[in-house]
Amino acid sequence: MPSERTSRLAKTNYWDELFALRDRQRAERANGLQVIDEDELPLEVNRQGLMRWYMHPSIRDTVLSTVMFFEQEIPPGSRSGRIKFQGNQIIMIVEGSGYTMLDGAKHAWKAGDVVSLPLRENGVVVQHFNPDQQTTAKFVAAEMNWFECSSVDRGSGFEQLENCPEYNRLKAEERPGV
């Protein structure tokens, strides 16, 4: 006797579903942006810091969705949030100088440097610091968009381990008296 799941699955031709998915993807990308204008992107304050998203799994109006790409600013004397994630991210330092703590090891960087976060089976723990009290540090980062093929956890877990100070201040301002 077939199970309820078997009966439900039997109602769909999954080979045809692949073609339907292809057609939906083609339609989404037909008018997709090939040039993303920085002036159209808001600077977001989130638990990781100040970020401007060029490509993200939830941004669906670009030609490509296979890469995540963002810009991050670290104010003078501040730091990013601390995260654990799979790694496999390339970072280009655009402005300023600072350092990255990668699994407890300090790696200094300056404008023009590229930081390569390794792909590790159990993930990496990363946090970026800008010790300069006068100058903002800014970088862009790119990584593969594995979310749709392996989930947001990407095999290693995805956890916010520490918020950046700007996010904590913003959240405190939103909850006066708390």
Predicted TM-score (pTM) of the model is 0.80
CATH number 2.120.10.30 given to 37-174 = no
The fraction of the chain above a pLDDT of 90, given in percent, is: 67
pLDDT at 139 over 90: yes
- Compute the CA torsion angle 113, 154, 65, 144 (nearest 10 deg): 30
pLDDT confidence band for 151 (50 / 70 / 90) = low
pLDDT score for 178: 57
CA 108 distance to own-chain centroid: 22
Stretch 12-21: mean pLDDT, rounded?
88
Stretch 72-94: mean pLDDT, rounded?
97
pLDDT confidence band for 136 (50 / 70 / 90) = very high
Tell me the HSE value of 125 on the side-chain side, using a 13 A CA sphere: 9
